[in-house]
Each structure stands twice: as structure tokens, then as C-alpha cells.
Amino acid sequence: MILDAGYVFDKVAKERANRGGRNYWWAYMAEVLSCMGLTAKPIPPDGLAGRLDGISVLFLDGMDASHLLLELEAWVENGGTLVGCNTEGLDRIFGNALATLMEQPGDEFSVSGYFHLKEGRFTAGVHSPLHPEAPLIAVSRLRLVKPISSAEIGTDGENAYITARSCGGGWAFYFGFDVAQTFWAIQQGRPVDGDYDGDGYWRTSDASVIGNNEPEVAYTDELLFLLQNFVGVQPFPMIHQLPPKGGRVPDFVLYYAGDDEGEGGIQVPASAFMASRGLPYHINAMPKGGRFAITPDEEDLLRKRGTELSLHFDFMEGFAHPGGFSEEDVKRQADLYVRRFGSAPVCANTHWWRWCGWAEPAIWMAEAGIMADNSFAHRRSPPLDPRNTVGFSFGTSFPHFFWSNFRRGNERIDFLELPVTSYEVGYSFSWEGLDEGTVDVPQLRKALLLAKHYGATMCMFYHPVYLARVPSCRRCVDELLSIARSEGLEVLHLGADEVVAWWTSRSRARIEGARFEGGVLKFKSSCSYEDGLIAKIPIGDREPLGLGARGKVVEKFGNRWLLLPIPPGENEISVHLGQGD
């Protein structure tokens, strides 16, 4: 069995949409599949007929594929996995009948539908353990169906949003909405061209499209895991979202960052505390009056300690509010940082999480040599400073690349967003009574529960001023580590720059040439990250043989997965999979 994936990509439709001043939303499917860790090739619509034998998984957009009905039907029956999103003309394969068509109620960033996952083989444990009653959301035109010979996976109680059908030796999965548009709109948000939340400023919170829906639900991550399970009906090797460390497989990543707000005397003690706990730390330095608070001697000490230093853009002081900032504003502060610290920042962020436009600040920062941003807020505003809270206001904990609008051809920008997910979580205090501050153990447990459930890359945002001067903040970090130890959690602790290094390498890594024959899975991997990657292999009821201590079998979201650390460089891998009892 050849294990190769493809997705339809209509370059002509993309160019036509862009010329007409519209986004070609399906372009973002490349980002979705990359986040899943699936190496997939784009296929033009006219390249499908007669060429299906070389692929085993195929993703279709809202095209009319009726002319391919018989060929795709035979391909699925012979073992192919078909995933359609608003696809026309293939209802017979999907086992559905069209129920209704619904346009988005507002613009292209408006929520168009709400649905719940039905518990079953593909959805087991996927949905939020904290908010099981909260629906998932779609952000696109809807093409909803009635199941005829399919199983309902996602429903609003009247019509099906997602279905699954076993067909001969293969499977046909259907989404009644545009998965790519839903991911793109939620994760990158809407353009910040107004003060949508009314807090008086243009901030990343204005970009969030989830509205009043529950922010502690990772909307796109749950859809990602569902897609992963669909692909996982075959032993298709993917790249895990988490990196290995010393050959170990972590349960999740926690990474630590904070802003110095241009205040002196706090960076060294904050860094010292984190280092004393064996934790990495990332400090974003903000210029005030053209100067940074970190002295050269402090910089030397911080760098020797391994503390990451970066830039905290200030688009608050001297700027009109509500309103934006310019490319020149970005360049001026980035140049100031380079002159002071000798190199461009890796992962920067903005004071008060300021933003404007859609991907424009990402483009400006990338042109200044910066690789990532860490400003997309975990919660909507107000409150202006949502402390001691956890959230996925942009649907995910995972880094993701920005994509440009139609004016720039809907292309991927080589610049990452690392969304904030956990902000000053786990403690309270007042400056008037520092010794009376308390540790909020339930909130810490909540953060760890969500991190474990989603296998998250969780941003733990703690400002250095609080680490340096607030005892309850330091106690909260100790309690966080204590809870993780007591629960036996395998946590990989990183700084924001290291997350960027991993995710950038991961985006370029490949698992290719996979074949499964005679109980042996063979594939090739390539990865430049210094610790390599983890292959994520769905094994179902099969058992990996002869691996010894290498690899880890986990049950997650209704499937069994072999998580296999693979060293960096080029590798040829063979995994023997025997049938279980």
C-alpha cells in the first residue's frame, strides 16, 4: 500500500479570485495539513482524472467533482481516503443527501454555524473536557447534508456538518463547510481596522472572530485532531506537533516569556529565579526614549544564563488611539534593537498586544529580520489586562504561519504567530500587600489539564517584574512544577525562540515515500532540528515490534498512536507492526 497524500489546488481559481479582490481561502489548506504534520502535494483539478493510483489520501474543496464520481468511487472502494469540504457532485460516495445551502450571515469572517461532535470512533475525547456543552463553529458558506448511508460525526441537531462512511476498503469523510477558511479566519482573525471590542485601542483582541463563544475551547485544534483521525484510518506516518528531547516524547510543551516594559532592575532577578528552577525564559525588551533598560553587563549575564532576549515593540506611547502604526514604526524600533543588541530579534511582540491590518505587521516584522510574533491574545478585551486566565481566542495553542491577503496572492509569509494561551496564570497579588498574595491552584490545574488534553504548545506568559518582585508569582511557578511532577506529566520546557526554531524546522521537515506491506511500514524522514522529530503513526490494534525502549504507544482521541523519535538529518525508517490480540 502506497501512503501518499494530496489536496486539490486550483491555481486558476486562485488567480481569478485575487484579480476580483477576493481571497482564495482554500490556499490555507496547505497550512492546515502542515500543522497536522502531513506531507501532502497540491494537485490541480484537471490533474486528478486517471492519476489517483499514486495517492491514498485526497482532500477536495468545494469544486463540482461529479465528472470524477465513478473514478473516485472505485478509488475509495479500493482503499482510498477521501475528505471533501463543501464538495459538490459526490454525495453518493459520502453517503449523504443535500439538506440546505447557507451563505455567511455577514462578511467572510463571520461565524456561520454551530455544531456538536457526536461521541464515537473518530471523536472520542476530542472535545473540551471543561466545556462539553460548548459547540464548535464554522466560518464559511455551509453545505449541510442528511446522512443516508453515512455516520453523523458533527451535527446541529437537524443537519449534519460532518459525516463518515466506510466504503469497501476505504473511507469517505465530508465537511459541510470550508475547513481551510474556518481555520484561517479563526487563527489569523479578521483585519484590525477598527476598535471592534470597544476598549479604546487597536489590539489583537479586535481580530478574534469567535465572539462570545467559549475561549477555553481550542476550536481549530479540535478540528485538526478530527482530520488527523480521518487520515489515521491508514497507518499514515505524520510529524508530531511536539519535538523530542533526549529521545523522550513529551506530553506537551510549556514555553515561558514576558515583557520588561522598559523597566530596569527586574530582568536579572527574574531570569535567576527561572534558572534556579531549571526553566528557560524569554524576555522582550521595550525601548523607552530610544533606550533599553538592560545594561551591557546585565545582557552578558542573561545570555550566559541562556535567557532569550527579544524586542517588545511600543506602539502605545506617542500614538493616536484608537488607531494603528506603520511599517516605518516597526523598522525604527527593530533597527534600534539591532544597534543595541547586535542582531535581529527572533520572536518579538507588541506592548498591549497592539496590531493593525491583517498580515501587514507580520510582513513588516519579517522584512526587519524577525521570525515570529507572540501578541495574539488568549481572551477578548475588556478587561484590558485579562490576568490569571487561560484561553484559545484564536482557536489553537500551536504556532502557525501568517498568510497574505489577495493583494499579495494569498501566499504563506515566512513569519510565525505564537499565540498567547496562559497569561499570568495561577496567582493574585496587590502592590500594597505583596506578602498577602495567593496561589490559584485550580487555575494552574486548569492550564495543565488543557495542555495535556490538547497536547498543546502552551505559552506561559509571566512578566519579569512579577517574577522579580511578587512572591505569589514565584510560588505559583513552583506550584505549577509540583503539580506536573505529582501527576507524572512529561513536560518539555522551552523559551519562545526555541519554539520558533522547532516549528520553523518542522515546517520544512518531510516524511515521504511511505509504504505499508506485509506488516512493515517504511518511510523516509528529513529534519534539520537539532533533536530531530517525532513520527506520529496511527496503529489501531496493531502492535509495534522490535522497538525496545524506542517509541511510545499512546491512546489519544479514539486511536492508538506510535510516537517514534527520529534523529535529525535524512533517515530511512522501518517499523514492524503485528496484529494485536
For 338-369, the pLDDT digits (tens) are 999 999 999 999 999 999 999 999 999 999 99
Mean pLDDT of the chain: 97
What is the tens place of the pLDDT at every residue in 70-80? Answer: 999 999 999 99
Query: In sequence order, what are the beta bridge partners of 522?
Result: 515, 574
- Picking from 113, 118, 183, the residue whose alpha carbon sits closest to that of residue 147 is 118
Q: Are 84 and 110 in contact (CB under 8 A)?
A: no
Of 283, 101, 74, give the one whose Cα is nearest residue 177: 101
The band of 546, judged by pLDDT with boundaries at 50, 70 and 90, is confident
Is residue 115 pLDDT above 80, yes or no?
yes
pLDDT in tens, 172-201: 999 999 999 999 999 999 999 999 999 999
Residue 101 bridge partners (DSSP): 143
Annotate 19-60 with DSSP letters as a single string. Answer: HTT---GGGGHHHHHHHHT--EEEE-GGG-TT--TT-SEEEE
The pLDDT, as a whole number, for residue 579 is 81
Distance CA 479, CA 577 (A): 41
What pLDDT score was predicted for residue 418?
99
**Bridging pattern class, strands 282-285 and 252-259:** parallel
pLDDT, tens only, 231-263 = 999 999 999 999 999 889 999 999 999 999 999
Q: CA quadruple 12, 15, 19, 23: dihedral positive or negative?
A: positive
Q: Please tell me the distance from the alpha carbon of residue 111 to that of residue 114, in angstroms, as a whole number.
A: 8
Q: With a cut of 90, say whether residue 277 has pLDDT above it.
A: yes
293-315 burial string, b = 16+ CB within 10 Å, else e?
Answer: bbeeebbebbeeeebbbbbbbbb
pLDDT for the residue 427: 98
List of residues 6+ apart from 290 with CB closer than 8 A: 336
Contact 85, 180 (CB under 8 A): yes
The pLDDT of residue 247 is 86
Distances (CA, A) of 182 to 32, 111, 228: 10, 9, 16
Distance CA 399, CA 507 (A): 10
| pLDDT for residue 158 is more than 80 | yes
Please check the confidence at residue 68 and state whether its pLDDT lies above 90. yes
Where are the domains positioned within the chain?
2-239, 252-504, 526-579
- Asked if 236 and 5 touch (Cβ cutoff 8 Å), the reply is yes
Using one digit for the tens of pLDDT, what is the confidence trace for 4-47? 999 999 999 999 999 999 999 999 999 999 999 999 999 999 99
CATH classification of 252-504, choosing from 2.60.40.420, 3.20.20.370, 3.30.565.60, 3.40.50.10680?
A: 3.20.20.370
Q: Is the pLDDT of residue 379 over 70?
A: yes
With pLDDT > 70 as the criterion, what percentage of the chain qualifies? Answer: 99
Band of residue 550 on the pLDDT scale cut at 50, 70, 90: confident
pLDDT digit string, tens, across residues 116-150: 999 999 999 999 999 999 999 999 999 999 999 99
Give the count of beta carbons closer than 10 Å to the beta carbon of residue 322. 17
Q: Which three cell numbers stand for residue 402?
A: 501568517
Q: How far apart are CA 474 and CA 460, in angstroms?
A: 13
Strand locations in 353-404 (E): 372-373, 389-390, 400-403
Could you count the other beta carbons within 10 Å of the beta carbon of residue 452? Answer: 18
Q: What nine digits make up the cell of 282? A: 524569554
pLDDT in tens, 475-504: 999 999 999 999 999 999 999 999 999 999
Question: Are the C-beta atoms of 544 and 562 separated by less than 8 Å?
Answer: yes
pLDDT band at 580 (very low <50, low <70, confident <90, very high): low
Q: Which residue has the cell 516594559?
A: 261
Q: Evaluate if residue 110 carries a pLDDT over 90.
A: yes
Q: Tell me, what's the pLDDT at 581?
A: 53
**Residue 450 near residue 378, CB atoms below 8 Å:** no
413-452: pLDDT as tens digits: 999 999 999 999 999 999 999 989 999 999 999 999 999 9
Confidence (pLDDT) at 1? 84
CATH class as words, domain 2-239: alpha beta
